[in-house]
Structure 1
Amino acid sequence: MDRAGPTGGSGPVLTACGGEDAGTKSAGPADSSAPTAESSQSAQSGGTAQSGGAVADTAAAKGSGNAKGGAAKGSTGTSSSSAATCTTKDVTISAAYQGGPPYTHIVLTAKNTSGHSCRLNGFPEIQFLESHKENVPAVAKSKPPTPVVLTAGAPAYALVKLSDGGADEDNEPVTAFSVTLTGGGGMATVKAPGSQGIAVDPAKWATGYWTYELRNGADDF
């Protein structure tokens, strides 16, 4: 896991490694048009995900360099109980800034590239730093009522808080980080957005659950 760079804006949804709610810690470790809630700022396009050695290109940001907002819903017809668990072979994971500087949040996008429906369990299990092996804790209020089932080509999103923003001696630079899909989905290495990466604070970071779209209230943290 490489390390190096900036900080991020406020915004929407999240996920992390091996637990179910905030404070849970466990081992383990998108269409990059990350959505924003109605009152949120546009997400600035960022990373690429590597899974099984393949690097997935993030879609180019539109307009002035910010990813175009807009919620995309991914599930139709397939029940969460019958859908197979999404693995890192089924989805491409990317990261983009949420909002403008100081960058306090990023949005993870997991896009189903498998050609069949699959289920994203819980939240992304994220490990930012080699020096902090615990997963980024999940925010309980962001948990959707049912697991996310992605049809072929559909995305899901998770908001991730990095820090409170600004220069801080506790912030550490990160240029790439790991995301593990719960339920045996495997681990992917995700490139951090920005030329110098992102700045994270282990005392402040948090992740939301995977959702079809970022939601006001549930994904504000």
Structure 2
Amino acid sequence: MSTIRNRTALLGATTTAMLALALTACSEDGSGTRSSGQDAGGSQQSASSATPAQKAGNAKASGNPGGSAAGNSTGSGSGSDTASESGSGSDGGSAAGSTPACTTKDVTISAANQGGPPYTHIVLTAKNISGHRCGMNGFPEIQFLESHRENVPAVAKSKPAAAVVLSPGAPAYALVKLSDGGTDEENEPVTAFSVTLQGGDGLAVVKAPGAAGIAVDPAKWATGYWTEELRNGADDF
């Protein structure tokens, strides 16, 4: 009997110890849970009780999406305006730098004898009457005779180094050889002839100088390029 009692007492003590350990573990878990809950609640309460100024400061510190969008919008808008202005400036500069070719409506063309008889050369003068700048391209395309429809050939050495651009009122010149001079059965009389400008529209009819006109030889004629002034050497042919 005493043995049975001792075993019962020992079993009861063991059970009591195990229950105590279980309760201690539960108490620790519960404390941890309650502690976390209290921390979260405390943080929520702190956030809800923050002043508007503090909230704004927190929003800026955390990178508020609204503030970021506003900043991007301002920056991108400014960049677009700048690009647009520089693009139009570039376009304006390009348009101002281009020069149209002179047409027969932009210039008046006249002819005068060079030197004295026998007249072997004439000088063509093209004066800009358009009121704007234009370019005299290449050489004058001249046709003296109905029986010879080809243009008078150009002399390569008379080509200027730079393009000839005429301001309003400015002239350009081209020296034209008619013949070797003297009486020649190959010479033909001309009282008027046609001139076409390279790159420009239209055809100009030019009156030949002198009461009797000029005498031309298809085997000898030649023309120089348009230049801003006649040049010794380059225009001697």
Question: How far does residue 85 in structure 1 lie from its aligned partner after superposition?
Answer: 0.6
Structure showing the higher helix proportion among its residues: 2
Which residue matches 2:121? 105
1:94 aligns with one of 99, 102, 110: 110
Q: Matched residues in 2 for 1:87 and 1:94: separation? A: 15
Matched, 1:182 2:198: yes
Deviations 1:84-136 (A, max 9, x none): 11001100000000000000000000000011100010000000000000000
Aligned mates of 1:94, 1:184 — CA distance in 2 = 17
Q: Which runs of 4+ in 1 moved over 2 A?
A: none
- CA shift, 1:155, in A, is 0.2
Give per-residue Cα distances to partners, 1:61-89, cap 9 Å, x unaligned.
xxxxxxxxxxxxxxxxxx9x711110011
Percent identity among equivalent residues? Answer: 82
| TM-score w.r.t. length of structure 1 | 0.63
The aligned residue for residue 13 of structure 1 is none
Q: For residues 1-221 of structure 1, what are the structure 2 equivalents within 5 Å?
A: 82-221=98-237
The answer for the alignment partner of 1:61 in structure 2 is: none
Q: TM-score, normalised by structure 2?
A: 0.59
Which SS does the other structure have where 2:153 is aligned?
coil
Q: Is the 8 A contact 2:106 2:129 kept in 1?
A: yes
User: What is the number of equivalent residue pairs in this alignment?
Assistant: 143
Structure with larger RCO (C-alpha < 8 A, sep 6+) = 1
Once the 2 structures are TM-superposed, how far is the Cα of residue 185 of structure 1 from its aligned partner?
3.0
Unpaired runs of 5+ in structure 2? 1-94
Output the CA distance in 1 between the equivalents of 2:201 and 2:103.
4
Rounded to whole Å, the distance in 1 between the matches of 2:122 and 2:188 is 15
In structure 2, C-alpha distance between the alignment counterparts of 1:214 and 1:133, rounded to whole Å: 27
Answer with 1 or 2: which has the greater Rg.
Answer: 2
